[in-house]
Structure 1
Amino acid sequence: MGRQSGSDVTRRKYVQVGATVIGGSALAGCSELLGEGDSVQHTPETGTYTADLFPVGDVEFDGVPQSVTTYNMGWADMVVSLGQADKLRTDRYSAPTLFYDRFDVDYDADWPALWQDGGWSKETMYERDPDAFLIDPNLLGAWDDNWNEADTTEIAEKVAPFFGCYNRRIRGEWQQKLDYPEKAPSMLEAFDAVGTVLDERARTDEWLSLHEEMQSDLRSRLPADGETPSIGLINGGSTPEKGEFYVLYLEDNGYEMKPYRDLELVDADAFAGVETGQYGLTDYETMLEVDPDVIVVHWGITTGSVTSGGDGAFDATQFREKFVEPMENDDVGSKLTAVQEGRVLPGPTAEQGPLINAFQTELTARLFYPEEFGELDLDAPLDVPEENQLFDRQRVADIINGEV
């Protein structure tokens, strides 16, 4: 029987799930009750199984969840990667179709958003009525001042348990206080735990093998000379038309920077050590002082996707209108090397599980090492000639379809 690290523990029954959390006090701000690692324990004789994940600790399931709710798209992608898209109760913000249409993946996205009017919607959590929330309970109180531990307890007891970690970006003050930099699972570690919760061991292991094979191939082909253009990464929320740029740093923890780490690009960060304002805010003058060889727009690959009201396909025209042309038309912006050389490029989206990460690692390799991995078609950045593909699309289709 599993147990969360911490003080007194109690057994609580979750009405919708038929699952039990041992010591279900992994509430927002309860640092003394954080799990210590990620592991799985099986109890075949009773049919129950226990998954352990930081920060929620041990969660014991009496049956496989038949429906799950997510907030972060990376966690939704874990579910999709395991061929369980039909279990998702989420909205399009959490699971855009940009990458999924290639595998005829469909899901019910007609659910109200969890985040509404500047806060979490408890009513939506009841309405979605999932068997498990793949959401970090600490995130609730950290983002919403009107959300308290009693709200988390209510949802966990009356709807479903929480099994998630906000590990996309690990730089919040609340995360520092709760030891996330040291304890938060990587994307693959989190995926491994989700695979156990959803009883998809074979698919999970096949994805882990595919990932390692892809990484091994990448490592063997990276340039030995280490010559990489300097990279200026700006958030997709930047507005060049207003001269506002939100800088991101390649060295940041969390899975949103995984493609850059895996391709050994962190040291090429042009903004490393550069002083910026709140949330990385800077201006054209600072951009020109730094003058990166390449400007990459974080989330740029989803420009024109369903998150922007589009149909799920990358829109090169919209990308140029929103990011490139305003720089070209600005007196200072037009002097930027990246602008003059046509190297303002769409970068990966921040949210990624195994499936999206495979595409985005390939995308990033082509952005920075075209001589080795092939030139990027800026009109269709996800379309890659078969000879340049870093992973087998049919193999991915087979995993999703359970043919493993």
Structure 2
Amino acid sequence: MSDDDTDTTAPSRRDYVKYGGAVVGGGLLAGCAGRSKSGSTPDSNGTETGSTNETGSSTDDGSADTAEDGSYSVEMFPVGEVEFESVPEAVTTYNMGWADMVVSLGQADKLQTNRLSAPTLFYDRLDIDYDNDWPPLWQDGGIPKEVLYEHDPDAFLIDPNLIQAWDDNWDDSDVEEIESNVGPFFGCHNRRIRSDWQQEMGYPERAPSMLEAFEKVGTVLDERARTEAWLDLHEDLQSEVESRLPDDGETPSIGLINSGSSPENGEFYALYLEDNGYEMKPYRDLGLVDADAFAGVETGQYGKTDYETLLEVDPDVIVVHWGVTTGSVTFGGDGAFDAERFREKFVAPMENDEVGSQLTAVEEGRVVPGPTAEQGPLVNAFQTELTARLFYPEEFGEVDTEAPLDVPEGERLFDRQRVRDIVNGDI
């Protein structure tokens, strides 16, 4: 599908179930099965449209063309063209990555979320204040509409298809009710693109990348200058890293396991570096996809595997996905990385297992905390730096496994003060 195939409607997952995977809703392609074999970032769908007589819309340069009444619209897959009466003063999101987009734009005071689960790790070191004392959206196995009314934001940075995929109590009428009575949905579940409903609805081809989604959020929040500053910083960081990557092709093989794994019980959940979505962005950007030890390996549901399979592939490095957030609220901590807790949960059980102790990564002390899956521009900057140091220590410096994000000033790959300045609006 070309970038000019713009969709201005938002067919839900249930539409695809109802019509048996047929093409509906102005051109969305269904039936795209299987995992992408490319390590590239997914392309966005559609182009931004010009202004209209009645309602302003986003323009080719990413800015919003505002109508006389102050309204404007921004287009993004899968929600289509969304109209905003004015710049939102409060937004609610479920994903930490989308929350980080808002924080990166200096708008943390607009967030109504409890999803900043590892703030100490990234934000406290930059003196960024936030309020995550809001009711969780996920309650009792679903997302009740009542909690969305309770938040009462001007916009939900949430993919409505995700809500319907997770909570069978929701259908299109519920989405329409919330949009009519509270605010519009403007989000895309682009962190991980593996579910059947995403394949059917064309997410692998049409979901925006993290940076593309960030640009859209910047337009919605009328923060074009900060957006451009972040894009420049990201480009500079990528150029710096790429210019220093070794050209000898020697990269350690990587076994990426989810933090939901239980080494104590011999249960692991393998992840694939080739997967679409922004959670694998640091690995793609550093050219590490071909180093995936699990590539082509058959695993069970959700990538479930065991010590025997791990030993068969025997990766040089075992990386725990979300590992840097060991110490977050999820793990019963206060937000800062907890090296003792990480070792207790992931490393020691492998060392004490008869098969696990034979793994090269275990023998050489290379079971390491990896990046969190959730990331906007700010978190991604830290995690690109972390990933470079994890796999190319001779060039970028050794990771301190007691404090993986602490980097000596002379080895930093981006300017922390520049990040503070962007967030603070000193551009």
> TM-score range, shorter-chain basis?
over 0.9
Q: Which has the higher strand share?
A: 1
Q: Which moved more, 1:105-114 or 1:328-337?
A: 105-114
Shift of 1:36: 4.2
Shift of 1:309: 2.7
Aligned to 2:35: none
Q: 1:290 to 1:80 in 2, by over 3 A?
A: same
Give the Cα separation in 2 of the matches to 1:278 and 1:217: 39
Paired amino acid for 1:49? Y
Give the Cα separation in 2 of the matches to 1:226 and 1:202: 38
Contact 2:10/2:80 (<8 A) preserved: no
Cα deviation digits, residues 11-63 of structure 1 (max 9, x gap): xxxxxxxxxxxx77554444525694253234345133221110011112221
Paired amino acid for 2:363? Q
Contact 2:307/2:355 (<8 A) preserved: yes
Confirm or deny that 1:86 pairs with 2:98.
no
Structure number with higher relative contact order (C-alpha < 8 Å, ≥ 6 residues apart) = 2
Paired amino acid for 1:43? D
Q: 1:163 to 1:44 in 2, by over 3 A?
A: closer
Aligned to 2:55: none
Unaligned ranges ≥5, structure 2: 16-23, 29-43, 49-57
Give the Cα separation in 2 of the matches to 1:218 and 1:157: 46
Contact 2:113/2:132 (<8 A) preserved: yes
Q: 1:98 to 1:38 in 2, by over 3 A?
A: farther
Paired amino acid for 2:235? E
Give the Cα separation in 1 of the matches to 2:118 and 2:375: 10
Paired amino acid for 1:398? D
Aligned to 1:64: 87
Shift of 1:101: 0.4
Say which of 203, 224, 241 aligns to 1:218: 241
- The number of residues matched between the two structures is 385
Contact 2:256/2:270 (<8 A) preserved: yes
Contact 2:13/2:201 (<8 A) preserved: no
Give the Cα separation in 1 of the matches to 2:365 and 2:72: 53
Aligned to 1:323: 346
Give the Cα separation in 1 of the matches to 2:80 and 2:115: 29
Paired amino acid for 2:145? K
Aligned to 1:279: 302
Identical pairs, percent: 73
Aligned to 1:43: 65
Helix, strand or coil: the match of 1:119? coil
Give the Cα separation in 1 of the matches to 2:103 and 2:194: 27
Confirm or deny that 1:32 pairs with 2:41.
no
Aligned to 2:142: 119
Helix, strand or coil: the match of 1:43? coil
Q: 1:161 to 1:273 in 2, by over 3 A?
A: same
Give the Cα separation in 2 of the matches to 1:198 and 1:189: 14
Aligned to 1:13: none
Give the Cα separation in 1 of the matches to 2:147 and 2:84: 23
Cα deviation digits, residues 227-249 of structure 1 (max 9, x gap): 00000000000000000000000
Shift of 1:5: 5.7
Contact 1:36/1:57 (<8 A) preserved: no
Shift of 1:251: 0.2
Paired amino acid for 2:140? D
Unaligned ranges ≥5, structure 1: 7-22
Say which of 288, 291, 298 aligns to 2:311: 288
Helix, strand or coil: the match of 2:255? strand
Question: Equivalent residues in 2 for 1:114-193 (5 A)?
Answer: 114-193=137-216
TM-score (normalised: structure 2): 0.87
Q: Which moved more, 1:144-153 or 1:374-383?
A: 144-153
Contact 2:118/2:328 (<8 A) preserved: no
Cα deviation digits, residues 115-134 of structure 1 (max 9, x gap): 11211121111100010000
Shift of 1:274: 0.3
Cα deviation digits, residues 253-282 of structure 1 (max 9, x gap): 000000000000000000000010000000
Cα deviation digits, residues 281-323 of structure 1 (max 9, x gap): 0011111111101000000000002332322110000000000
Shift of 1:109: 1.0
CA RMSD of aligned residues (A): 1.6
Displaced runs of 4 or more, over 3 A: 23-31, 33-36, 41-45, 92-97
Contact 1:73/1:95 (<8 A) preserved: no
Q: 1:27 to 1:94 in 2, by over 3 A?
A: farther
Contact 1:76/1:94 (<8 A) preserved: no
Q: 1:44 to 1:111 in 2, by over 3 A?
A: closer
